Amino acid sequence: MRYSQVLITGGYRMADVGFNQLCNWLRFRHLVLIDTLARTQNMHATAQEMSISQPAVSKMLREIEHQLGFEVFARLPRSMTLTDLGSHVARFAQIALNDTGQFVSQINHLRQGGHGLIKVGTIYAATALAVPAAIVRVKQDWPLLTVQVLEGTSANMLTLLEHKELDLVVARFTLDRHRELFDFQALAPEPLCLVTGSQHPLAGASEVPLADLGSWPWVIYPTGTPMRARVEKAFVEAGMQTPENTVETVSLQTTMQLLQTTPSVAMLAESMVEPEIQAGRLTRLALPFPLVLADYGVITRRNDVPQWSAKAFIDALLSGPDALRGARQTP
């Protein structure tokens, strides 16, 4: 093992390095030199990377070792290698440079507004893909931005948006007056699918007669929601009576539990149930009639200029996989 030599200056062993002393003489260029020379093990290559002369590198290294009181690098015929003590110095130099790089990045984010809070309301279907993907993209550019996400029905989210308790909403219009209050940018259509638990008697059936559907318990969205209105309309169009044995809920967790533990049927957005189908906990039934829910999209208050964070989040949503290129602006 190669042991570091402690330098003797003027015949005396140097005193311990004090914090204030280190702060007074240590410069970032010293840390860069140590880090670069540890990597290249070559004076000439280090000088080139640092855009200084080789004699300047040699002088700076001597200053560092003089101040520390020991050799950081061993001078070998063809290379410069770290001594045992020098390895510790190089590690701390690298840590300090990495921390400084992060500090500079954070300062730039702060100067550019990379902090603050944005409140996003969303329907449950959008939390399956669109909203999480947008959060990932936004946090890559604005890591200090706090994103609050509130899930609920379109009606509830739009009420909060109207009262300025949310910055934007990913939902659908539920009332005609919403078209006067808010702006809408479509994200994606939402195909629905008919599902039940994997142990349900209908699971695996190639066809499901309409008459059979009405005889089973249903888990369904509450009256007044866009999902409930669309499903009831589909029942009427198919000549099927609206089921009477129902549980009304907007809770996805409750819906999943009921589907897996009772002989219930539900019509839900594909994006919400696809993971459960893939996991074998739910089964997709053959839908006797095609059914696509109206597009959901980004909704903001009309005549309000969104703050920078809301603009960034909207851009992330519109550039995501669910975005409709050239989509219409009103549902």
CA–CA distance, 108 with 240 (Å, rounded to integer):
60
Counting beta carbons within 10 angstroms of the beta carbon of residue 297, is it exposed (0 to 12), middle (13 to 18) or buried (19 or more)?
Answer: buried
Residue 196: partners with Cβ closer than 8 Å, 6 or more residues away: 202, 203, 216, 259, 263, 264, 265, 266, 282, 283, 285
Structure confidence by residue, pLDDT tens digits, 188-200 = 777 788 899 999 9
Model confidence at 330: pLDDT above 50: no
Q: What percent of the chain has pLDDT over 70?
A: 88
Spatial CA neighbour of 89 closest among 21, 23, 37, 15? 37
Q: What is the pTM of this model?
A: 0.54
CA–CA distance, 73 with 239 (Å, rounded to integer):
86
Residue 183, pLDDT score: 94
The CATH 3.40.190.290 domain(s) of the chain lie at 120-294
Length of the chain: 331
Q: Are strands 115-122 and 168-171 parallel, antiparallel or unpaired?
A: parallel
Residue 125: partners with Cβ closer than 8 Å, 6 or more residues away: 190, 269, 271, 272, 296
Identity of residue 268: L
Structure confidence by residue, pLDDT tens digits, 101-127 = 888 877 876 776 667 789 999 988 777
Structure confidence by residue, pLDDT tens digits, 229-238 = 888 888 887 7
Window from 7-21, 126-140, 155-169, 268-282 with minimum mean pLDDT:
7-21
* Distance, CA of 159 to chain centre: 26
Domain 120-294 classification at class level: alpha beta
Residue 25: partners with Cβ closer than 8 Å, 6 or more residues away: 63, 67
Model confidence at 4: pLDDT above 70: no
Model confidence at 290: pLDDT above 80: no
CATH topology of domain 8-111: Arc Repressor Mutant, subunit A (1.10.10)
Contact 7, 69 (CB under 8 A): yes
Contact 174, 293 (CB under 8 A): no
Structure confidence by residue, pLDDT tens digits, 73-97 = 999 988 999 999 999 999 999 999 9
The CATH 1.10.10.10 domain(s) of the chain lie at 8-111
Residue 8, pLDDT score: 45
